[in-house]
Structure 1
Amino acid sequence: MEKTALGKTDLRIAPINLGGNVFGWTLNEQQSFGILDGFAGAGFNFIDTADTYSHWAEGNKGGESETIIGNWMQARGNRDRIVVATKVGSATSNLPKNVSKEHILKTAEESLKRLKTDYIDLYYTHFDDEVTPLEETLGAYQQLIEQGKVRYIAASNVSPARLTGSLELAEKEGLPIYKALQPHYNLVEREGYERDYAPVAEKYGLAVLPYWSLASGFLTGKYRSESDLGKSPRGQGVKQYLNDRGLAVLGALDQVASGHGSSPATVALAWLLHQPLIAAPIVSATSDTQLQTLIEAPGLKLTAEDLELLNQASA
């Protein structure tokens, strides 16, 4: 699998980012190892997780995903071949959003321990608390980078104003600057990213790594009526897409997939990869079949007619 630079960094990645949110939630450690082995075996190397995954699962406290990934890298002896992204700042049932210096430094140490590594390749502001001074957050990252514990930083759920402010401040004061952006972006969620974030990403050369690339599974085509929502634990999250526009997008995906002998999920990921600035869509897999759909996406070359059909349906 061909690997390219992740934006303005020296990290070399294959163009799909495996989402680790399911590790320790819908997959146990053994099952997670199977998905990770299949992903790496196909030539991919970029894994996404967070300090709080998978705290929402019954009996979990958070950090289970990082622990599984750390155990896998240790068991396979492949840390130097894997690009690991994790995050800080997300709220849990017990704690609010927090990107203070004290919290970042504490959480980074906890993540490093769970991941069984000395460094994090890409460290995200997962959710901005919107009260911590930008200088404080970036200063915490600067300390971690100087200590060799973090290589690069990125932003996810940060408002356009705070994101722009952070980028301007970093350039002005010589502080660490975000190198990547993880927005909510897919065929049924376009407006927020394209209107508010794409111009910022373009101006600052940010690599874009969309989350919920398959709209919580809606773009796989398995949810076509309310009776389908019970098919998985994430089913209720796609109810909002069961409308005329959402069904039109599924129709376009079906048509394009049929023309290529592919699947709607693979086409939806390929559409993202055809968009400007997109470096690697983030997508999770809980079975070998799902894993195969994302492995095939970089090799699917959509025609101008395919893209027009998908763009019109999702406009």
Structure 2
Amino acid sequence: MQYARVGRTGLMVSRLCIGTGTFGHQTESKAFQALGMAAAAGVNFIDAADMYPAGTEPNQMGDAERITGRWLKGKRHRFIVSTKAGRAGGPSAWLRGSPRKHLLDAVDASLLHLDTDYVDLYQLHVDDPAIPLDETAEALDLIVRSGKARFIGVSNFLSNRLTRAIGQQETARLVRFVPAQPRYNLLNREIERELIPLALEVGLSVIPFNPLADGLLSRRNRKTGERGKGGLPREMDPPGEMHRTLFWRGREFETIEHLLTIARAHGVSLPTLSVAWIMANPAITSVIVGASGSAQLMQTLAAADYRLKQAMKSRLDDLTAEYRHGDAGR
């Protein structure tokens, strides 16, 4: 396993990060098994969120953090723990999004779930355009200065909003965002147009999620429209419907057939190849891999040791260039 620095900080994380989005849909023993496999492979980075497992009832939100916290008992000092807030809903209007009240309450709830005094990285799960950016930035600054988080970041932010947020943080001398966590895979390359150039310019880490395109790049959903065993449940909507809209189309399935041919010709699994392609991008610090099943996790963890040759990367770049959506330049 290789390790990389998060942005311009001294925080070092493994180039692969174990995601916990399915913890709670799976049994706790399977979640523990996934965490153990990742740790044995050298992973020191765990990604959680207060709304996980996604798609559940409000009373189940936080179960992934609770499971992770129980597994971390006695070994918290060995791992970099990240969690997110802003997407979970609740009975009151302020129990969602990025207002100061919600974020200050949410971080305390996450620390309780994780059974820890602090998280290494605290991130906004989504942008909340209804709340002024300065209110959100000041709340996150307070969270860091109070010792409840070491660093802050964002997920699912458009580049223009992230640029504005960083500008306000720098002007007000507030703690600045360190990583961005976007969706990125061979079938969704839009971040190459604006977010990745921004990250390289201002020193942000990019820590993408969804490297297998909702399982399509593991081939388990090939042309069936059904979810594979061990993954997120079919009834998980709207997230499930969103993923079907993003990837389950004829052109994507054709591309996957070409990718499978390449992978077979080089004696590597498509999940390994897909994650290795992301890791080969110099802007990428770490890739969040799911834990929906042990066989798939073994394949994604294998990407840490797979050396993608430049000729192969260029071939994959050319094959999937259309998924940059909107420009010809590369």
Partner residue in 2 for 1:159? 158
- Secondary structure in structure 1 of the residue aligned to 2:154: strand
Partner residue in 2 for 1:86? 83
Which one has a larger percent helix, Structure 1 or Structure 2? 1
Shift in Å, 1:11: 1.6
- Secondary structure in structure 2 of the residue aligned to 1:10: coil
Whether the aligned pair in 2 keeps the contact of 1:245 and 1:313 (CA below 8 Å) is no
5 Å-filtered alignment, 1:103-118, equals 103-118=102-117
- Secondary structure in structure 1 of the residue aligned to 2:295: helix
1:10-30: per-residue Cα shift (whole Å, max 9, x none)?
Answer: 2211111111001012x1211
Shift in Å, 1:159: 2.8
Partner residue in 2 for 1:72? 71
Match for 2:212: what amino acid? L
Match for 1:229: what amino acid? E
Partner residue in 2 for 1:293? 299
Are the structure 2 counterparts of residues 83 and 33 from structure 1 closer, same or farther at C-alpha, using a change threshold of 3 Å? same
CA distance in structure 2 between the aligned counterparts of 1:70 and 1:195, rounded to whole angstroms: 37
Partner residue in 2 for 1:130? 129
CA distance in structure 1 between the aligned counterparts of 2:3 and 2:194, rounded to whole angstroms: 29
1:67-126: per-residue Cα shift (whole Å, max 9, x none)?
Answer: 00001001xx11111111101111437566421111111000000011011111111011
1:263 and 2:269 correspond:
yes
CA distance in structure 1 between the aligned counterparts of 2:202 and 2:77, rounded to whole angstroms: 28
Partner residue in 1 for 2:62? 63
Higher mean C-alpha deviation, range 305-314 or range 249-258: 249-258
1:50 and 2:49 correspond:
yes
Whether the aligned pair in 2 keeps the contact of 1:248 and 1:314 (CA below 8 Å) is no
Match for 1:13: what amino acid? V
CA distance in structure 2 between the aligned counterparts of 1:51 and 1:216, rounded to whole angstroms: 20
Match for 2:316: what amino acid? L
Whether the aligned pair in 2 keeps the contact of 1:256 and 1:267 (CA below 8 Å) is no
CA distance in structure 2 between the aligned counterparts of 1:18 and 1:230, rounded to whole angstroms: 20
Whether the aligned pair in 1 keeps the contact of 2:4 and 2:286 (CA below 8 Å) is no
Root-mean-square deviation over aligned CA pairs: 2.0
Partner residue in 1 for 2:280? 274
Partner residue in 2 for 1:212? 210
1:50-69: per-residue Cα shift (whole Å, max 9, x none)?
Answer: 01112523684300000000
CA distance in structure 1 between the aligned counterparts of 2:167 and 2:90, rounded to whole angstroms: 33
Are the structure 2 counterparts of residues 314 and 169 from structure 1 closer, same or farther at C-alpha, using a change threshold of 3 Å? same
1:15 and 2:12 correspond:
no
- Secondary structure in structure 2 of the residue aligned to 1:302: coil
Unaligned runs of 5+ in 2: 235-239, 322-330
Match for residue 222 of structure 1 among 198, 212, 220 = 220
Whether the aligned pair in 1 keeps the contact of 2:48 and 2:65 (CA below 8 Å) is yes
5 Å-filtered alignment, 1:192-207, equals 193-207=191-205
Whether the aligned pair in 2 keeps the contact of 1:145 and 1:151 (CA below 8 Å) is yes
CA distance in structure 1 between the aligned counterparts of 2:98 and 2:218, rounded to whole angstroms: 35
Shift in Å, 1:264: 0.3
Whether the aligned pair in 2 keeps the contact of 1:217 and 1:238 (CA below 8 Å) is no
Aligned-residue identity in percent: 35
Shift in Å, 1:144: 1.4
Partner residue in 2 for 1:311? 317
Are the structure 2 counterparts of residues 230 and 296 from structure 1 closer, same or farther at C-alpha, using a change threshold of 3 Å? closer
CA distance in structure 1 between the aligned counterparts of 2:292 and 2:88, rounded to whole angstroms: 25
1:183 and 2:182 correspond:
yes
Whether the aligned pair in 2 keeps the contact of 1:270 and 1:297 (CA below 8 Å) is yes
Are the structure 2 counterparts of residues 240 and 110 from structure 1 closer, same or farther at C-alpha, using a change threshold of 3 Å? closer
Shift in Å, 1:167: 0.6
Are the structure 2 counterparts of residues 144 and 243 from structure 1 closer, same or farther at C-alpha, using a change threshold of 3 Å? closer
CA distance in structure 1 between the aligned counterparts of 2:227 and 2:41, rounded to whole angstroms: 31
Higher mean C-alpha deviation, range 296-305 or range 78-87: 296-305
Partner residue in 2 for 1:24? 24
Match for 2:84: what amino acid? K
Shift in Å, 1:231: 3.3
Shift in Å, 1:277: 0.6
Are the structure 2 counterparts of residues 206 and 181 from structure 1 closer, same or farther at C-alpha, using a change threshold of 3 Å? same
Match for 2:163: what amino acid? T
Are the structure 2 counterparts of residues 310 and 60 from structure 1 closer, same or farther at C-alpha, using a change threshold of 3 Å? farther
Partner residue in 2 for 1:2? 2
Report how many aligned residue pairs link the two structures. Answer: 310
Shift in Å, 1:245: 3.2
Shift in Å, 1:307: 1.5
1:170 and 2:169 correspond:
yes
Match for 2:300: what amino acid? L
Match for 1:4: what amino acid? A
Are the structure 2 counterparts of residues 142 and 78 from structure 1 closer, same or farther at C-alpha, using a change threshold of 3 Å? same
Match for 1:163: what amino acid? L
- Secondary structure in structure 1 of the residue aligned to 2:193: helix
Match for 2:77: what amino acid? D
Match for 1:82: what amino acid? F
